[in-house]
Amino acid sequence: MKALKILLAVLLALFFFIAVEGGNRSDTTIAETAAAPPNSVTAKIQKKVLLVFPYQPAMPHAILAGQALNEEFRAADNLNIELYVEYLDLNRFQGDEYQAQLLFEIKYKRKSINLVLLNGEAALTFLLKHRNAILPGVAAVFYDVISRRIEGFCLPPDIIGISL
């Protein structure tokens, strides 16, 4: 079931790239490029995706999710996805300002991230709280968030996801 949710998140993320992403491309749309035969002369579209887990890396679901996302992104013939993975470790460090400043403002400010994938409610809450400071305007896709909890969030139109 977890693998299915991850696959759906990936498909949703790729759809988001195709439907919404606007910058750094020629007259050929992302959808046209992604649909082109693999041996076509079109260049691969370069994208940078940041996958954010709320806890430490040893969690089994984090390992499985990272592997599944890597496999799916590598399988895209005309997309070259550079996947960055961050573990916020929120259950061991008090105050998420530490992660916001250290990890994001220093590590990712100049990386031109195209999309953020968020694993769970804690990662979604973290991004909503710090988005303007760390990744302004970057689209996000969340997964593994309980449906009834989503109603309490004020989500901008460029943050979408799959709930349980």
Domain spans in the chain, listed from the N-terminal domain onward: 2-163
H/E stretch holding 129: helix 121-134
What is the pLDDT averaged over residues 114-134?
A: 89
**CATH superfamily label, 2-163:** Response regulator (3.40.50.2300)
The pLDDT value recorded for residue 37 is 57
Alpha carbon separation from 71 to 7, 53, 76, 83, 130 (Å, rounded): 10, 18, 9, 11, 29
Quickly state the pLDDT bin for 152 (edges 50, 70, 90): confident
Contacts 24+ apart (CB under 8 A), 152-158: 153/124, 153/128, 154/128, 155/128, 158/20
Is residue 24 over pLDDT 50?
no
Is residue 29 over pLDDT 50?
no
Is residue 5 over pLDDT 90?
no
% of residues, the chain, pLDDT over 90? 15
What is the pLDDT averaged over residues 136-147?
A: 89
pLDDT digits (tens, 9 = 90+) for 69-121: 888 888 878 888 888 988 888 887 766 676 677 667 778 878 889 999 999 99
The rounded mean pLDDT for the chain is: 76
